[in-house]
A and B are shown apart, each in its own frame.
Chain A
Amino acid sequence: MSGFDFVISIGGAAGQGIATPGNILARLFARQGIHMYAYNAYQSIIRGGHSFLTIRASDREIRTHGDVIDLMICLNQDTMDRHLEHLGPNTSVIFNSDTIEPGKAADGVQLCPMAVAELAGKGANKLMQNTVAIAVTCQLLGIEFSALEDVLEFQFSAKGEELVAMNVKVAKAAYDHAAENFQPAPQQAPKSGQPLAVWAGNQAFAMAAAGAGVKFYCAYPMSPSTGILHWMAANARELGIMVRQVEDEISVVCMTVGAAHAGCRSMCATSGGGFALMTEGVGAAAMMEVPIVIVNVQRAGPSTGVPTKTEQGDLWQVLGASQGDFPKLILAPSSPLDAFQTIPEVFNLADKYQLPAIILSDLLISDETSTIDPEILDLQPVIDRGELITEAGEDAGNYERYKFTDSGISPRALPGIPGYEHVVATDEHMPDGVLISDEFTHPHKRRAMLEKRQRKMDGLLADLPPPAIVGDADAEVTLVGWGSTAGVIQEAIGQLAQVGVSVNHLHFKWLVPFHADEANQLLSSCKHTIIVENNYSGLFHRYLRGETGFTVDGHIRKYDGEPFKPHHIVAAVQEQLEGDETLSVPYEKIIV
Chain B
Amino acid sequence: MSETNALSVLQPKDFKGKVDPDWCPGCGDFGVLSSLQRAVSELGLKPHQILTVSGIGCSSNFPGFFNSYGMHTLHGRSLPHASGAKLSNHEMKVIVTGGDGDGYGIGGNHFTHTSRRNLDILYIVMDNQIYGLTTGQVSPTSEVGMTTKSTPHGSTELPFNPMASAITAGATWVARGYTGNVKQLVTLIKAGLEHKGFSLLDVFSPCVTFNKVNTYQFFRPRVQPLEDIEHDSSDWKQGIEKAMVWGDVIHTGVFFETNSRLTLEEQEPVLDEGGPLAYRELGLTTEQNERIVSRMM
The chain A residues found within 8 Å of chain B, CB to CB, are 30-31, 195, 197-199, 207, 210-213, 215-216, 218, 235-242, 244, 246-248, 250-252, 254-266, 280-281, 284, 288, 372, 374, 377-381, 383, 385, 390, 414-427, 432-435, 438-439
A468 to chain B, nearest CB (A): 30
B215 at interface, CB cutoff 8 A: no
Partner of A254, one of B67, B74, B283, B296: B74
Give the docked Cα–Cα distance between A246 and B112 (Å): 11
B274 at interface, CB cutoff 8 A: yes
B247 at interface, CB cutoff 8 A: no
Give the docked Cα–Cα distance between A248 and B114 (Å): 12
Q: Among the listed stretches B33-41, B154-162, B284-292, which one makes contact with chain A, having 4 or more residues with CB under 8 Å of it?
A: B284-292
Give the docked Cα–Cα distance between A196 and B25 (Å): 71
Give the docked Cα–Cα distance between A439 and B17 (Å): 15
Q: Among the listed stretches B84-92, B140-148, B197-205, which one makes contact with chain A, having 4 or more residues with CB under 8 Å of it?
A: B84-92
On whether the beta carbons of A257 and B1 are closer than 8 Å, the reply is no
On whether the beta carbons of A242 and B80 are closer than 8 Å, the reply is no
Partner of A421, one of B69, B88, B109, B270: B69
On whether the beta carbons of A239 and B288 are closer than 8 Å, the reply is yes
Give the docked Cα–Cα distance between A426 and B74 (Å): 7
B237 at interface, CB cutoff 8 A: no
- With contacts A254-B73, A414-B278, A415-B92 taken as known, whether A238 is within 8 angstroms of B293 at the C-beta atoms is no
Contacts of A421 on B, CB cut-off 8 Å? Answer: 47-48, 67-70
A153 to chain B, nearest CB (A): 14
A506 to chain B, nearest CB (A): 33
Give the docked Cα–Cα distance between A255 and B85 (Å): 7
On whether the beta carbons of A236 and B270 are closer than 8 Å, the reply is yes
5 closest residue pairs by CB, A with B: A263-B278, A258-B84, A213-B282, A255-B84, A423-B70
Which residues 76-124 in B have Cβ within 8 Å of A in the complex?
Answer: 77, 80-89, 91-92, 109-110, 112-113
B53 at interface, CB cutoff 8 A: yes
On whether the beta carbons of A434 and B84 are closer than 8 Å, the reply is no
- With contacts A242-B88, A424-B70 taken as known, whether A416 is within 8 angstroms of B49 at the C-beta atoms is yes
Contacts of B269 on A, CB cut-off 8 Å? Answer: 237
- With contacts A240-B280, A262-B278 taken as known, whether A30 is within 8 angstroms of B297 at the C-beta atoms is yes
Contacts of B17 on A, CB cut-off 8 Å? Answer: 423
B268 at interface, CB cutoff 8 A: yes
On whether the beta carbons of A422 and B70 are closer than 8 Å, the reply is yes
Which residues 131-174 in B have Cβ within 8 Å of A in the complex?
Answer: none
B160 to chain A, nearest CB (A): 17
Give the docked Cα–Cα distance between A445 and B91 (Å): 35
B120 to chain A, nearest CB (A): 14
On whether the beta carbons of B84 and A238 are closer than 8 Å, the reply is no
Contacts of A248 on B, CB cut-off 8 Å? Answer: 109
Contacts of B271 on A, CB cut-off 8 Å? Answer: 242
Which residues 248-289 in B have Cβ within 8 Å of A in the complex?
Answer: 268-271, 274, 276-280, 282-286, 288-289
Partner of A255, one of B83, B286, B291: B83
Contacts of B3 on A, CB cut-off 8 Å? Answer: 418
Residue of A nearest to B117 (CB): A246
Contacts of A215 on B, CB cut-off 8 Å? Answer: 88, 277-278, 280, 282
On whether the beta carbons of A265 and B282 are closer than 8 Å, the reply is yes
On whether the beta carbons of A211 and B284 are closer than 8 Å, the reply is yes
B243 at interface, CB cutoff 8 A: no
B167 to chain A, nearest CB (A): 19
On whether the beta carbons of A380 and B81 are closer than 8 Å, the reply is no
A89 to chain B, nearest CB (A): 37
Contacts of A433 on B, CB cut-off 8 Å? Answer: 18, 64, 70
Residue of A nearest to B281 (CB): A213
- With contacts A236-B270, A417-B1 taken as known, whether A439 is within 8 angstroms of B19 at the C-beta atoms is yes
Could you list some 16 contacts between A and B, CB below 8 A? A207-B292, A215-B277, A237-B270, A239-B288, A247-B109, A248-B109, A262-B276, A263-B278, A265-B282, A280-B77, A374-B293, A374-B297, A417-B1, A421-B69, A434-B64, A438-B22
On whether the beta carbons of A438 and B89 are closer than 8 Å, the reply is no
On whether the beta carbons of B81 and A257 are closer than 8 Å, the reply is yes
Contacts of B82 on A, CB cut-off 8 Å? Answer: 258
On whether the beta carbons of A255 and B81 are closer than 8 Å, the reply is yes
B176 at interface, CB cutoff 8 A: no
1/0 per residue B38-74: CB within 8 Å of A?
0000000011110111001000010110011111111
On whether the beta carbons of B84 and A262 are closer than 8 Å, the reply is yes
Partner of B48, one of A198, A416, A434: A416
B132 to chain A, nearest CB (A): 12
Give the docked Cα–Cα distance between A242 and B89 (Å): 11
B2 at interface, CB cutoff 8 A: yes
Interface of A is mostly: mixed
Give the docked Cα–Cα distance between A261 and B51 (Å): 11
Contacts of B22 on A, CB cut-off 8 Å? Answer: 438-439
Give the docked Cα–Cα distance between A109 and B51 (Å): 70
Give the docked Cα–Cα distance between A257 and B79 (Å): 12
Give the docked Cα–Cα distance between A115 and B177 (Å): 76
Give the docked Cα–Cα distance between A566 and B73 (Å): 48
Residue of B nearest to A211 (CB): B284
- With contacts A242-B268, A255-B80 taken as known, whether A31 is within 8 angstroms of B297 at the C-beta atoms is yes
On whether the beta carbons of A216 and B109 are closer than 8 Å, the reply is no
Identify which of B56, B63, B64 gathers the most chain A CB atoms within 10 Å of its CB.
B64
A427 to chain B, nearest CB (A): 6
Identify which of A213, A262, A263, A414 gathers the most chain B CB atoms within 10 Å of its CB.
A262
B111 to chain A, nearest CB (A): 10
Give the docked Cα–Cα distance between A31 and B73 (Å): 51
- With contacts A254-B84, A417-B48 taken as known, whether A264 is within 8 angstroms of B278 at the C-beta atoms is yes
Contacts of B88 on A, CB cut-off 8 Å? Answer: 215-216, 242, 258-264, 266
On whether the beta carbons of B292 and A262 are closer than 8 Å, the reply is no
Give the docked Cα–Cα distance between A298 and B51 (Å): 36
A349 to chain B, nearest CB (A): 15
On whether the beta carbons of B51 and A262 are closer than 8 Å, the reply is yes
Contacts of A211 on B, CB cut-off 8 Å? Answer: 283-284, 289
- With contacts A235-B292, A248-B109 taken as known, whether A254 is within 8 angstroms of B81 at the C-beta atoms is yes
Contacts of A210 on B, CB cut-off 8 Å? Answer: 284, 292
Contacts of A284 on B, CB cut-off 8 Å? Answer: 73-74, 77
On whether the beta carbons of A390 and B279 are closer than 8 Å, the reply is yes
Partner of B293, one of A251, A255, A377, A432: A377
Contacts of A263 on B, CB cut-off 8 Å? Answer: 88-89, 276-279
On whether the beta carbons of A247 and B113 are closer than 8 Å, the reply is yes
Partner of A258, one of B48, B53, B279, B286: B53
Contacts of B270 on A, CB cut-off 8 Å? Answer: 236-237, 240-242
A281 to chain B, nearest CB (A): 7
6 more contacts with CB within 8 A, not counting A254-B74, A264-B277, A423-B17, are A263-B89, A378-B289, A380-B284, A385-B282, A414-B279, A421-B70
Give the docked Cα–Cα distance between A197 and B89 (Å): 36
Partner of A244, one of B56, B87, B278: B87
On whether the beta carbons of A258 and B289 are closer than 8 Å, the reply is no
Give the docked Cα–Cα distance between A520 and B227 (Å): 75
